[in-house]
Amino acid sequence: MTQTATALMQRAIDAAVLGVEADPNPRVGCVLTDAGGEVVGVGHHRGAGTPHAEVDALQQAGGAARGGTAWVTLEPCDHTGRTGPCSVALLDAGVARVRYAVPEPWSEAAGGSARLAAAGVDVAVGPLREEAETVNRTWLHARRTGRPFVTWKSASTLDGRSAAADGSSRWVTGEPARADVHALRARCGAVLVGTGTALADDPALTVRDGSGAPSARQPLRVVVGTRRLPADARLHDGTAETLVVPTHDPAAALDAVHATGVHHVLLEGGPTLAAAFLRAGLVDEVVAYVAPALLGGGSPTVGDLGGTSIEDALRLETTDVTVLGGDVRITARPLGRS
C-alpha cells in the first residue's frame, strides 16, 4: 500500500532523528520508493565519514530504486568530501523523482537539485519543511549566520544565585537536573567556559553516563580568556579535546569554534562570561535549571547587562518548562529569535 507524500517525508524525518545531533554534519533521512510507490529503502546519516542518507537508502533498495522516488529531508548534496555527491549516487541508481524538504544552505554543497534536474530527474520541494528544519536547527543556524548556535546553561537558586558567599556551588540542583545537563552536553559539539570558571572550579566538562564514567563521544572543551591553566588542570586530562582561545571577545571565540566545524555551543561559564555573550547578542537559547532554594547572598547567575531600569530588561520567550526531581528546567529564547 502506497503512502502519502506527507507520510513519506515524515518517515524520512523520523530516520534523520536517528543521526548524531552533535556531529559536524547535518542529520538527514531518506526514504526510497520504487516505481510503484512502495518503500524499498530507509536511510539516515550516522556521522562524518559514513554514507549519507541517500546512499544508505540506495544500498538497501538496490535495483528497486530505478524509476522510483527519493524523499529526503535535505536537498541532496553536490559536494565531494569524505564521501561522494549524493546527486551523482541518485543519478547512477536511476531514480526518477526527488522530493526534498529543506534547500541546502551551504554553497559548497549546493547544486544537487540543479544537477539532477539537468539530467532529467523530476525534482521539487516536498512537504514538512518546518519539521525538517527543526531536526537541524543548530546546523542550519551555523550555515546561515556563519557562527555556532549558542545555548547558555545556568543552574541557580530561586533567588538567582549560582554559588554561596563562600564560593561553594556543589550542588545547587539535584541529581535529575545534573543528569539532564549531561544529556544536553551530549547534544552539543562544544562546551565553553571562561578561564575564571576553569581556574576556580577545575571542571572536567565531559559527558558522563549513569555510572559516572565518561561517554565514548565527548564535546570539544573550549576555554576563553588570557590566563593560563595549570598543567594538572582536568581540562588537560586527555579525556576530551580542549581548545584554548586567548581572547575576551565572544564573537572571536565563536569564530574559533566555528572553524572546527562545531555548530552548537553550550555556554557554561560564570556570570561575567554569560553577561558578555548576552550583551553581544550571541545567546540564542537559555536553559535554566532552578532549584527551590534561597541563599540571600553569593554569586549572581549573570553579571551586569548594562540596564538601569525595568524597561532595559532582556525579555525572553519561554518555550518549555519541565520539572526534574525537585528542580525546574526552563527553556527560553530571546524575543525575536527563532
Round the average pLDDT of the chain to a whole number and report it. Answer: 94
Q: Is the pLDDT of residue 121 over 80?
A: yes
For cell 521539487, the residue is 124
Q: Assess whether 151 and 43 both reside in one domain.
A: no
pLDDT tens readout for residues 144-172 = 999 999 999 999 999 999 989 888 888 89
Give the Cα separation of 86 and 108 in Å (integer).
Answer: 13
For β-strands 29-33 and 69-74, DSSP reports them as: antiparallel
Q: Which pLDDT value is given to residue 108?
A: 76
> Is 285 one of the catalytic residues?
no
**8 A C-beta contact, residue 302 and residue 154:** yes
Arithmetic mean of pLDDT, 29-51: 96
Q: Assess whether 124 and 167 both reside in one domain.
A: no
For β-strands 122-125 and 29-33, DSSP reports them as: unpaired
Q: Is the pLDDT of residue 14 over 70?
A: yes
Q: Which pLDDT value is given to residue 211?
A: 66
C-alpha cell at 59: 544500498
Collapsing DSSP to helix, strand or coil, 323 comes out as strand
Question: Which of 134 and 216 is assigned the larger pLDDT?
Answer: 134
Q: Assess whether 220 and 88 both reside in one domain.
A: no
Structural domain containing residue 216: 142-334
Q: How many helices (H) and strands (E) does the chain have?
A: 10, 15
Bond preceding residue 71 cis, omega within 30 of 0: no
Q: Assess whether 93 and 187 both reside in one domain.
A: no
Q: Which pLDDT value is given to residue 335?
A: 86
Q: Which pLDDT value is given to residue 338?
A: 63
The C-alpha angle with vertex 164 and arms to 161 and 165, in degrees rounded to 5, equals 115
Q: Assess whether 263 and 312 both reside in one domain.
A: yes
Arithmetic mean of pLDDT, 296-320: 93
Q: Assess whether 89 and 197 both reside in one domain.
A: no
Q: What element of type H or E holds 221?
A: strand 220-224
Q: Assess whether 19 and 57 both reside in one domain.
A: yes
Last residue of a domain, one of 135, 167, 198: 135
Give the Cα separation of 197 and 157 in Å (integer).
Answer: 18
Q: Is the pLDDT of residue 306 over 60?
A: yes
pLDDT tens readout for residues 207-251 = 987 666 778 889 999 999 999 999 999 999 988 999 999 999 999
Q: Which of 190, 259, 187 is nearest to 219 (CA)?
A: 190
HSE-up of residue 143 (Cα within 13 Å, Cβ side): 18
> Position 33: which residue type?
T
Q: Assess whether 68 and 181 both reside in one domain.
A: no
Q: Assess whether 172 and 316 both reside in one domain.
A: yes
What CATH number does residue 268 fall under?
3.40.430.10
Q: Assess whether 173 and 259 both reside in one domain.
A: yes
Q: Which pLDDT value is given to residue 86?
A: 95
- Residues whose CB is less than 8 angstroms from the CB of residue 274 and which lie 6 or more positions away in sequence, other chains included: 152, 154, 267, 283, 301, 302, 303
pLDDT tens readout for residues 87-104 = 999 999 999 999 999 999
- Binning pLDDT at 50, 70 and 90, where does residue 123 land? very high
Q: Assess whether 130 and 160 both reside in one domain.
A: no
Q: Which of 242, 236, 240, 180 is nearest to 216 (CA)?
A: 240
Q: What element of type H or E holds 54?
A: helix 53-61
Q: Which pLDDT value is given to residue 297?
A: 92
Which of 21, 54, 104, 268 is flagged as catalytic? 54
Arithmetic mean of pLDDT, 246-264: 97
Task: Kindly report the backbone phi and psi dihedral angles of residue 156, in degrees, each rounded to the nearest multiple of 5, phi listed first.
Answer: -150, 165
Last residue of a domain, one of 112, 135, 158: 135
Last residue of a domain, one of 103, 135, 167: 135
Q: Which pLDDT value is given to residue 112?
A: 93
Q: How many domains does the chain have?
A: 2
pTM over 0.85? The answer is yes
What CATH number does residue 48 fall under?
3.40.140.10
Q: Assess whether 231 and 157 both reside in one domain.
A: yes
Q: Which pLDDT value is given to residue 337?
A: 67
